[in-house]
Structure 1
Amino acid sequence: MQRIPCVLMRGGTSKGPFFHAWDLPSNIVERDEMLIALMGSGHELEIDGIGGGSPQTSKVAIISPSLHPDADVDYLFVQVMVAERRVDTAPNCGNMLCAVGPFAIEQGLVKGNDGQTLVRIRNLNTGTFVNSLVQTPGGIVRYEGRTAIDGVPGTAAPVHLTFLDAVGSKTGSLFPTGQSQQVIDGVPVTCIDMAMPMMIVDARHLGLEGSESPAQLDADAKLLKRLEALRLKAGRAMGLGDVSDMVIPKPVVVSAPRFDGTLQVRYFMPHSCHRALAITGAIGLATACVSPGTVIGDLLGEQALTLREVRLEHPSGAIDIALSRSGADGQTLQASVVRTARRLFSGFVYAPSTRRLAG
């Protein structure tokens, strides 16, 4: 058995182990096999590992000091599949991201300041940069606070995340197909790449109301098959090639808000519906709200183009995104969000050097 130091953390509405890169194999194949083994991937309950049997709780963060002058730490996100023995490092995860700052400070990678500490993070999956502002009275990370986020019980200290350069995270372009909207198999879609490559579809074009629960959507085999067929074609149109073994682009179903939000969303990961909403997905959806010609623009009308704040309703509540412009021309779009995090335990996780799964 191999003993690996780790810290289990909740980041936003996700949860998973955080590792120092130097504690894992440098060989990528060996590293991924180790992560599969210690998470228990390949079983729907991940019963022989520390994974939680859900995409939201089968995530890994790998942290290292950054050599880039604009970052303090590098963060590699690994999505470990639950029922399949495989991992995906193509996307970023904004929920796990909000725990990177507290982890980096507590592990001595960034010195805590009295009051608040800014942690500059480079995401290795996408090459993007994020500023994380962490509460650190007396230079020590504070987790207790009064900030509540939907999808997580109770309250905690706020972690402010600002995505600095999330446009074209994987494709190099906000609209990688060259259009803000196109038709795939008779369905109007928007393919956008802002923090996360996504395919956005109006619920009405799928025969949905948009307020269906994740359980209802996951049980609709016909819908899931149709979404996957659209996703595969959208992936090729976005220049991502064959995405059948990738979790990007993410399919997102949108509809008019039910309550006081800007938009109602159902976010897929990509083959099951998220119980809340990915932060990276929220950043892209907020951007689509203020971009002319998108599926969301058609749904909301031109008044959405001037929004500075976007409230996205999801199955567990809502997420608020603040939008701002920067740069000499004032055209560089930046998005900020407030989340919470918590340290759950620290110690060692054990993984066999070889792995044989049966049944």
Structure 2
Amino acid sequence: MPQTAIPFHFFRGGTSRGPYFRREDLPEDRETLARVLVAALGSGHKLNIDGIGGGAAVTTKVAMLSRSETEGCDIDYFFAQVSVEDGLVDFKPTCGNILSGVGPAALEMGLIAPQGDVTRVRIRSVNTEARVEAVVQTPGGQVEYAGSAAIDGVPCTAAPVYLNFMDVVGASTGALLPTGSLRNVVGGIEVTCMDVAMPIVIARAADFGLTGYETADELDANRDFYARMEPIRQEAGRLMGMGDVSQSVTPKFALLAPPRDGGTIAARYFMPRNCHPTMAVTGAQCLASCVLTPGTVAEGLPTPPQGQPAIVLIEHPGGVIDVTVDYENGPDGFALKSAGLLRTARLLARGEIMVPAEIWGGK
């Protein structure tokens, strides 16, 4: 059977990984595109045995890049979350960890030229319209991958990639608090529904009879928790104006607890049918905003961050992620100016992904 060859770069971006494509090398219509991505990643089997997915939600992610026609932006970043086992593709969310590799990938693909020893790549998220500036190390006009920057969840050090997020409030729903309230009671559980970079339904771990310090494996083994959480997530999604979210990975879900390792707060983030082994970059921004907003379910839990901008340290199953938040709490409530994070990325492979020609015959 003939196959279609599609050029790709394979990156670790933050604590996720996946293929990065030029958008022009893929089908234009979403239905065919979804079939191609399912075949490329091997969705439909828990090990993704017939594709290059890694058998986990953090390793079945896809970035599609193109030169941006939007003023003030260099690169358009279109994200897709491919399910591990269900053969589904969700084009609604974005991913900040995969975004960590967008600047390096755009340079490697020749979509943008290096600017010297440091290159600033202005990125527009196609999924959410958020704007992000990625600062990439490019000494001698080449992307530098080796370095001393370390992030929890990645066993090696690498060159830093600095991300500065703007225009992320209400990125998916149009509002910081899509339900119009700081707190709602859904399924007998008090939650805060917030949309900063990622819409999330946020609750206190103790309200589910949990400590909030469980490992990701312990939480994934607790199917009673998921059976209780999922109806709450779906109803909260409806209250957030997102419609029927039963087949979508958004809104995500998160649990908060007091810190125990010197951070600001402890958190567990769900994708939503599995616990993230570390923490999503987009999720970290939303949780940091929840911590800094008076009256949310986070009130009384965190160690108050000091300074302005504030550095919020979020303890997660793999360690800690820090978010630098420039914000105001004025008469109109919480107002986010920008959120910054340090990530790393590494090019792992490049070449061609093969998909059956019966799925797509190419361009």
* Smaller-chain TM-score bracket: over 0.9
Tell me, in whole angstroms, the C-alpha distance in 2 between the residues paired with 1:232 and 1:48: 31
Per the alignment, do residues 306 and 157 of structure 1 end up closer, same or farther by CA in structure 2, a change over 3 Å counting?
closer
Counterpart in the other structure of 1:215: 217
**RMSD, matched Cα:** 1.6
Counterpart in the other structure of 2:337: 333
CA contact (8 A) 1:290 1:306 kept: no
CA contact (8 A) 1:174 1:192 kept: yes
Counterpart in the other structure of 1:165: 167
Counterpart in the other structure of 2:247: 245
> Shift of the alpha carbon at 1:221?
1.1
Amino acid in the other structure paired with 2:353 = V
Tell me, in whole angstroms, the C-alpha distance in 1 between the residues paired with 2:48 and 2:266: 31
CA contact (8 A) 1:290 1:305 kept: no
Tell me, in whole angstroms, the C-alpha distance in 1 between the residues paired with 2:39 and 2:110: 28
Structure 1 portions without partners, runs of 5+:
none
Tell me, in whole angstroms, the C-alpha distance in 2 between the residues paired with 1:319 and 1:46: 29
Counterpart in the other structure of 1:314: 316
For residues 279-298 of structure 1, the aligned pairs below 5 Å read 279-298=281-300
> Shift of the alpha carbon at 1:106?
1.7
Tell me, in whole angstroms, the C-alpha distance in 1 between the residues paired with 2:222 and 2:327: 40
2:35 maps to which of 27, 33, 36 = 33
Tell me, in whole angstroms, the C-alpha distance in 1 between the residues paired with 2:93 and 2:45: 23
CA contact (8 A) 2:305 2:312 kept: no
Tell me, in whole angstroms, the C-alpha distance in 2 between the residues paired with 1:331 and 1:88: 29
Counterpart in the other structure of 1:198: 200
CA contact (8 A) 2:183 2:191 kept: yes
- Aligned residue for 1:309, secondary structure, equals strand
- Aligned residue for 1:114, secondary structure, equals coil
1:350 to 2:328 alignment: no
Amino acid in the other structure paired with 2:10 = L
- Aligned residue for 2:301, secondary structure, equals helix
Write the deviation string for residues 131-183 of structure 1: whole angstroms up to 9, x where unpaired.
Answer: 00001111211010000000001100000001111000100000000011111
Counterpart in the other structure of 2:12: 10
% same residue: 47
Amino acid in the other structure paired with 1:345 = A
Counterpart in the other structure of 1:257: 259
Tell me, in whole angstroms, the C-alpha distance in 1 between the residues paired with 2:60 and 2:323: 25
Counterpart in the other structure of 1:124: 126
TM-score by length of structure 1 reads: 0.95
Per the alignment, do residues 115 and 325 of structure 1 end up closer, same or farther by CA in structure 2, a change over 3 Å counting?
farther
Structure 2 portions without partners, runs of 5+:
none
Tell me, in whole angstroms, the C-alpha distance in 2 between the residues paired with 1:108 and 1:21: 13
> Shift of the alpha carbon at 1:325?
3.8
Tell me, in whole angstroms, the C-alpha distance in 2 between the residues paired with 1:28 and 1:257: 42
Number of residue equivalences = 352
Write the deviation string for residues 286-345 of structure 1: whole angstroms up to 9, x where unpaired.
Answer: 1111111111124237x459661100010110101001149xx99442100000000001
